[in-house]
Amino acid sequence: MTDSGITTNVIDKGQGLADMFINMGPQHPATHGVFRMELALDSELIVDATPHIGYLHRGSEKLFEHEIYSQIITLFDRLDYISNFNNELGLVMAVEKLMDLEVPDRAEYIRVILCELNRIASHLIFIGTFALDMGALTPSLYNFRDREKILTLFEATSGARMMHNFFRVGGVKQDVIKEFPAQVATLLDELEAGIDDADKMLSLGEVFVERTRGIGVIDGDVALDWGVSGATLRASGVPYDVRVEDPYSVYDRFDFGVPVGSAGDCWDRYYLRVLEARESIKIIRQALEQMEPGPIQTKVRAIARPPKGEVYVHAENPRGDFGVYLVSEGAESPYRLKVRPPSFCNLMALRDLLVGHYIADSVVILGSLDIVLGEVDR
Amino acid sequence: MPFEIDIGADLDEVVCRAPASHIDEIASILKSDERTSFKYLRLLCVVDYEEEEAAFDVVYHLYSLEHQHKMVLKARILAADPRLPTVTTVWRGADWYEREMHDLFGVEFLGHPDLRTLILPDGFEGFPGRKSFPLHDYDEF
C-alpha cells in the first residue's frame, strides 16, 4: 500500500484476501476531523486498516518551549478543542505541583464545576454525533442545543465559548458572578432532562442496539496494552478513572460512581458516557453545596518561573487519561512539555477493532472511540 | 547489568535510569514481574539535551493498575547515534509514540515493525522536535 491512497494490488494481508482498497478521509464527515484510514476489503469485510494522522499537526509541543506559561494555557485550549477547561487544568496543575503552590479552595471548586460541565458538553457531542454516524439526526440537534446552554454559561464566566484561557497558575482568572450557583443549578436540571431524553430516544432502540452490540469488541487486557484509557477502557471492564485512582484537585471530597462496562463493544462505550454525564451532574451539585466564598488566586509572580525539576501529572479528561510531563530548567518557558493525549492512544487500537467487521461498521467503531484530532496530532 | 535507581525529590516518583542497549529487556521484566507489573505505558517521550550534554533521554512513564505504583524509566542515548531497541514488543501502545519520536527527533527504534512517518508530511526534512531545529525561518512546506 502506498501513501498516495488507493492501490489496486490484490494482496493477502493474512486475514483474508483483500480485493479492494478504500481510502476514507481526510475530508469525510464521519471521521470527526481530518483523519484518514486506508481500508483493505474482502468484499464488504475489513481485512486490514491503516490509520493516517498528522493532518492537524501544529507543532504545539515545540511552540510550548518558546512561550511563557500564561501563553501556553491558550495553546492547551486548542489541543482537545471540545474539552478546553480539562486541558487547562492539566497544565496549571503541573506548574503548581512543580512550584509547590497551594490553590485556594474556591478556585478548586470553580475549576471542578467548569471541568465537569465541560465533560457533560463533550459527552453530549459524543452522544449526538455517534447517533448521527448511524443516521439518527434528532439526538444531535437536541444535544447541540443543550451543549449551547453550557457554552453560554462558559461565555458568561470566562468570556469565551470555547477558547477560555480562564485557569491561571495558582487559581482562576476571576471569580464567578453572584448568580453563578443558581444558574448552574437550573442548567443542571435542564441537562438532566436532556440526557434522559437522549437516553430514552437512543440507548435501547432496536436498530441502535443492532448496530452497536458486539461491534468493535476489545478485551480489557489488550486495551490496556495499547494504552487505551477513559470510557473506552472502562467499557472493557477495567475500572481505571484518574479521579478515583489518583485524586487531584478536590475530587476526593465528592461521592460519585465510576460506571464500568463488561462487553467492551460500541454500545458499552456509548452507554458509559451517558452514565458518566449523570455522575458529573452529581459532582457539580455537591461542589455547589460545598463551595464557599474566599480568595480565588494564590499570590504568584506575574510570569511564573517553576524551579528546575520535572513533574508528571494527569487528569481524567472526557476522552481519558490526560497527562502532562513538564521538564523545567527554572526558566519562564518549559524546557520540554509533553502531553499524553488520550485520543492518540485510543486511536492506536483502531486497527484491532476494525478488522473482521463490515465497512458500514467502520464509521460506528471510529465514532465510539470519541477522538478529537486536535489532540491526536497536536 | 549496570542498573542505577535514584528517587527523584522533585518528581514524586521512582526514577530508574537504565542502559539504553537493554531497555527492552528491562521493560519486559518490569512488566511481567508480579512485584512491579507495569502493564500500562502512560507516556513515552524524548527529551533533547543535545546542546549541553550531546544526548537524548528517552523517558517511559509506567503505571501499575494492580499496585497503583508509578515509575519513570529513563534511557540515555547519544545525539550522534540516537538508537535504542523498541519496546513495542513489551507494550503495543509504544507503537505510535515511537513513530512520533522518530519523526520529531530522529531516534531510531531498532526492531520497530513499521517506522513510517506518522505526523509529519511525507518528505519533510529535518527533525523539528529537536532544540537545534529553528522555530521560524525554515523552508516553507
**What secondary structure, in 3-state letters, does A189-205 show?**
HHHHHHHHHHHHHHHCC
At residue B11, the pLDDT reads 61
Q: Which of B91, B129, B135 sits opposite A227 (nearest CB)?
A: B91
Q: What would the grid cell of residue A98 be? A: 512543580
With CB atoms and an 8 Å threshold, state whether A59 touches B65: no
At residue A76, the pLDDT reads 92
At residue A304, the pLDDT reads 84
CA distances from A377 to A160, A336, A369, B134 (A): 24, 17, 16, 20
Q: What would the grid cell of residue A233 be? A: 477502557
Compute the distance between CA of residue A163 and CA of residue A87 in angstroms, rounded to an integer: 11
Residue A274 burial (CB count, 10 A): 20
The interface residues of chain A toward chain B in range 241-300, judged by CB-CB distance below 8 A, are 245-246
> How many Å lie between the alpha carbon of A54 and the closest alpha carbon of chain B?
4
Residue of A nearest to B103 (CA): A54
Name chain A contacts of B133, Cβ cutoff 8 Å. 62
Q: Say if CB B93 and CB A227 are below 8 A apart.
A: yes
> How many Å lie between the alpha carbon of B44 and the closest alpha carbon of chain A?
9
CATH of segment(s) B4-110: 3.30.460.80
Domain ranges of chain A: 11-52, 60-377
Residue B32 burial (CB count, 10 A): 12
Place of cell 464527515: A29
Q: Which of B43, B92, B120 sits opposite A340 (nearest CB)?
A: B43
At residue A9, the pLDDT reads 43
Name chain B contacts of A344, Cβ cutoff 8 Å. 96
With CB atoms and an 8 Å threshold, state whether B43 touches A325: yes
Compute the distance between CA of residue A125 and CA of residue A120 in angstroms, rounded to an integer: 9
* Residue from A224, A314, A329, A347 to probe the interface with B (highest B Cβ count within 10 Å): A224
Q: What tens digit of pLDDT does each residue of A289-330 get?
A: 998 888 988 888 888 888 888 889 999 999 999 999 999 988
Residue of A nearest to B12 (CA): A311
DSSP 8-state class, residue A101 = P
Select from A18, A88, A96 the least CA-distant residue to A50.
A18
Confidence of residue B70 (pLDDT cuts 50, 70, 90): confident
Residue of A nearest to B44 (CA): A340
Q: Average pLDDT for residues B13-42, to the nearest whole number? A: 85
Amino acid at A17: L
Residue A299 burial (CB count, 10 A): 8
Q: Name B14's bridge partners.
A: B7, B71
With CB atoms and an 8 Å threshold, state whether A312 touches B43: yes
With CB atoms and an 8 Å threshold, state whether A98 touches B10: yes
* Residue A355: CA count within 13 A, CB half-sphere: 15
At residue A13, the pLDDT reads 47
At residue B8, the pLDDT reads 60
Tell me what percent of the residues of chain B surpass a pLDDT of 70: 89
At residue A1, the pLDDT reads 40
At residue A133, the pLDDT reads 87
At residue A3, the pLDDT reads 46
At residue A28, the pLDDT reads 77
* Residue A313: CA count within 13 A, CB half-sphere: 21
Please determine, looking at this structure, whether the domain spanning A60-377 carries the CATH number 1.10.645.10: yes
* Residue from B10, B37, B39 to probe the interface with A (highest A Cβ count within 10 Å): B10
**Successive 10-residue mean pLDDT values, chain A, 378 residues:** 43 61 81 84 86 89 90 91 91 90 91 93 92 87 91 90 89 88 92 89 87 88 90 90 88 90 90 92 92 87 86 90 91 91 91 88 89 88
Instruction: Answer whether residue B2 shows pLDDT above 80.
Output: no
At residue A16, the pLDDT reads 56
At residue B9, the pLDDT reads 53
With CB atoms and an 8 Å threshold, state whether B95 touches A348: yes
Name chain B contacts of A59, Cβ cutoff 8 Å. 128
Residue of A nearest to B62 (CA): A227
Residue of A nearest to B93 (CA): A226
At residue B4, the pLDDT reads 59
Q: Name B60's bridge partners.
A: B44, B73
Q: What would the grid cell of residue A275 be? A: 452514565
Place of cell 526534512: B125
Cβ neighbors of A175 (< 8 A, separation 6 or more) are A106, A110, A296
At residue B6, the pLDDT reads 60
Domain ranges of chain B: 4-110
At residue A121, the pLDDT reads 93
